[in-house]
Structure 1
């Protein structure tokens, strides 16, 4: 996990080192700045691969919508869209319905914003939606209904799903509580600012 130390935290780190030195222990500033030292960084960054692993735990997924469409979603591929400030998930779809002479295979592109859920100490997917539906053959006549079924399934299934959960020691240091602030979607990961509560 990548992180950087804010100037205020550098000063705090210096005070800790000075206190340790004052107690008669020899320690260098480099040792205080070691990743093994339990300080709070000013941000955490987790990779697209970590998000992919988290989202993949939800698959395969099967959902029946209004007893009309049986939707099965598999093979998620996570994408990051910094310009749109959203996370995308491309999934293969298998749709069965009494309206269709035979099952149809296609794909959905889902899109979601991110939000911090304080109760669960987690960054979660919020308000997912279907951005694009790919179906062929006779299913095209029902594309709008299939898209609506996919949107309902996505909302019920992914809304509020945690993609990263903070451990308690990641949000506490020297008796001070911290919390995630601004969440920024990058091209290769997600950066979460850490601020004092």
Structure 2
């Protein structure tokens, strides 16, 4: 009596697993199990490489700050800070100013929290702050001004910048709407919890 049920069960499982793969991000089978619905992922994980590609689209970037410094930023390198639950971005910086005899190169490092913006369905950089600005030579005389310029740039450039945008079908299944919950920084990526709205 159980034989006729077996093909139907296999078809159901195949359809459910296909539904998981259609959602757009590769998830493990364990991630497919959710207490809310057995085939809705309990979380999505996206890689450091995906974050790197998203941030890289913003650069190179050049701006005059306070009519004193011309700042050019390029070559972003994204890192994960799991202990602080923050994302770090290290940038090559080039500063030019009437106060400097010639442009000066340096390194500009900032870090940011992550948050979910429901209006755009995006995980965004929230409240980025400057961790370090390193310059050499005569520019060291203007470290305070350069740090202020870097902080202003960080706020203007990366506040609310989306690093991942969910597709509508990733947050809806069988007529039920879901939304991201807790965002956790891992050593090699970012895990976003999915909860019923």
Q: Quick one: distance in 1 between partners of 2:74 and 2:60?
A: 5
Please tell me whether the aligned partners of residues 40 and 171 of structure 1 are also in contact (alpha carbons under 8 angstroms): no
Map 1:42-191; keep pairs closer than 5 Å: 42-191=42-191
Q: Quick one: distance in 1 between partners of 2:57 and 2:101?
A: 32
Q: How many residues are matched?
A: 175
1:32 CA displacement: 3.9
Q: Quick one: distance in 2 between partners of 1:131 and 1:194?
A: 31
Q: Deviations over 1:9-44 (max 9, x none)?
A: xxxxxxxxxxxx99xx82415414424456521100
Please tell me whether the aligned partners of residues 73 and 92 of structure 1 are also in contact (alpha carbons under 8 angstroms): yes
* Counterpart position of 2:27: none
Q: Quick one: distance in 2 between partners of 1:110 and 1:99?
A: 25
Q: Quick one: distance in 2 between partners of 1:166 and 1:40?
A: 14
* Counterpart position of 2:8: 26
Q: Quick one: distance in 1 between partners of 2:196 and 2:108?
A: 39
Gaps of 5+ in 2: 23-38
Greater CA drift, 39-48 or 155-164: 39-48
RMSD: 1.6
Partner SS, residue 99 of structure 1: coil
Partner SS, residue 120 of structure 1: coil
Which contiguous aligned blocks of 4+ residues in structure 1 show a shift greater than 2 angstroms? 35-40
Please tell me whether the aligned partners of residues 60 and 72 of structure 1 are also in contact (alpha carbons under 8 angstroms): yes
